Each structure stands twice: as C-alpha cells, then as structure tokens.
Structure 1
C-alpha cells in the first residue's frame, strides 16, 4: 500500500472486507459482550455492568470465540451484513463508527498499533463488570435491572 492510499477501513465497504479485515476492526472493548435488556414497549436497549459468562474479564476476550454460539445461544455474532442494525452498540464501537462514516479513535489498535490502549484509556469494560454468573437467578429481570448503566457516560 502506497503512503497515499487510505487504510482498508476507510476505502472498502464493510461488505467487501475479508473476514480477517472485518475481525481486525474489533477494538477489544467487549461492550458487545454486555448483558442487554430490551424494553418490550419501546424496543429500547439498555446495557448493564454484567458480561457474558464466556468473557475472560482479564483480557476482554471471549474464552471460546469459535464455539460461542453453542454455549450462549443468544450471542450476537456481528457481521458485515448486520452492521446497519448496530443501534444498540455504544457510540464508541469501531464497527458502528465505520458504518456511520466516522473516524476510528486514536486509541484504536489500527491507528495506534497498540491493542492495550483501549483498556489503558478506559474505553473497554475491563475491570468494570461482573460475570452474569454472579447473579443468583439470571432470569430475574429486577435483579438484572439493578445493573443497568449507560456506557456512553450519560445518565441511564
């Protein structure tokens, strides 16, 4: 790639990216691994401070990424085909930013070359969540609602 050529995430449509390119867009924030609640009346999505039981909280990576759907049937697998439906993702999500035509933040590893910077800058969930397994009854919505938080910094 010549110095004047834009990087793939700025020059390709997500539908035209290779699977490796698509996967490399992930910034490792793990916000997609948060337990979500949907308001049945409005369809509004609320994120919580609870993460999926498969998330390794020390690395912000899935402990069984290739088989995650087998262990967590409602796991949302992000693909270029469904990128337009990412309204529930936080505004900092790299997939969402690219879809919206916005630049990646300076802490993103494709910009900085450092995959740890997302954690150092506080843009990931590292150290701020608990596993959904800590709940006594994961089907108790009232118990889950106590963990709702707005990851974009606004009042929930």
Structure 2
C-alpha cells in the first residue's frame, strides 16, 4: 500500500486549508518572544521576554482568537508574511515549508506527539519571562541567542 504524501510536502503555504495551516504550527512558542531591532542596522536581537498573552506551559497564546485586538503589535502569520519576515526561527514549520524544506523529526506531524518539540529542547517551555513582569526598557537585559539556532536534523 502506498503512503499518502503529507500535505506540507505537496502544497504551497497559500494552498493550505485553515485546518492544515493551524496544524503546521509546531508549538515551539519562539514567535511569541519579543525581539529588539537595531534602529541603524536593522539587526534583530531575541529576548526571552514573551508576549503577555503567552502561556509558557502550553506554549500557546492564551487568547489566540482575540490576540490582535489585545496586542496590536502581534503579527499574524500569513503565507505572504512568512516569506517577508526575517526573524522567523530557522526551525519554524511555516518557514521550512516556504523554503521547500521538510519538517524536523520532532514536529508533531512527523512524530505523532505534541510533546516531542519540548523533549527535543526546541520549545520555549521553562525558558521565558512574561512581558507583564519586565518593563520594555529592561528587555536588553534578557537577550538570548537560542531562538535563532538551527536544531540538529
């Protein structure tokens, strides 16, 4: 019996259904981390300061449906945005599919478990502080490099 080709290998981001789009999220939470951009160079620096709506244990937004109204600078991902955003982590499933690359072994669509992203050390679980507790002028004290690291295949 021939195995069916997974949707992320045969469809472009623009072709995904809403259900497929949402399923593609690996649940790492890295996109919910605040970033700082150098005014002169445009260089992005990551912090481990998470959005005030971020639930670190679940690695999900506490109010996904209303996030844009609550956090006006939250950037919803779209196929177009994925191709334009320079700060998406190298492990992001949306970025991988946009670049024609396959998902990592720990992605739940490959492994069959939503826990493997945490077991592989990819997620932000246990690594963040909420922006509710850190004033913006102190974010520079929370710079980290791990969100932009490429995990091993």
Whether TM exceeds 0.5 here: the answer is: yes
Distance 1:71 1:119 in 2: 27
Distance 1:41 1:105 in 2: 35
Distance 2:51 2:2 in 1: 41
Query: Cα offset for 1:153?
Result: 4.2
Consecutive unaligned residues of structure 1, counting only runs of 5 or more, are: none
Contact 1:51 1:130 in 2 (8 A): yes
Aligned match of 1:149 in 138, 144, 148?
Answer: 144
Equivalent in the alignment of 1:132: 131
Distance 1:122 1:86 in 2: 24
Equivalent in the alignment of 1:49: 48
TM-score (norm 1): 0.90
Where does 1:1-156 land on structure 2 (aligned, <5 Å)? 3-135=2-134, 137-138=135-136, 140=137, 143-151=138-146, 152-153=148-149
SS at match of 1:35: strand
Distance 2:70 2:48 in 1: 21
TM-score (norm 2): 0.92
Moved over 6 A (4+): none
Q: How many correspondences in the alignment?
A: 149
Contact 1:22 1:80 in 2 (8 A): no
Consecutive unaligned residues of structure 2, counting only runs of 5 or more, are: none
Distance 2:89 2:80 in 1: 19
Superposition RMSD on alpha carbons, in Å? 1.5
Distance 2:75 2:59 in 1: 16
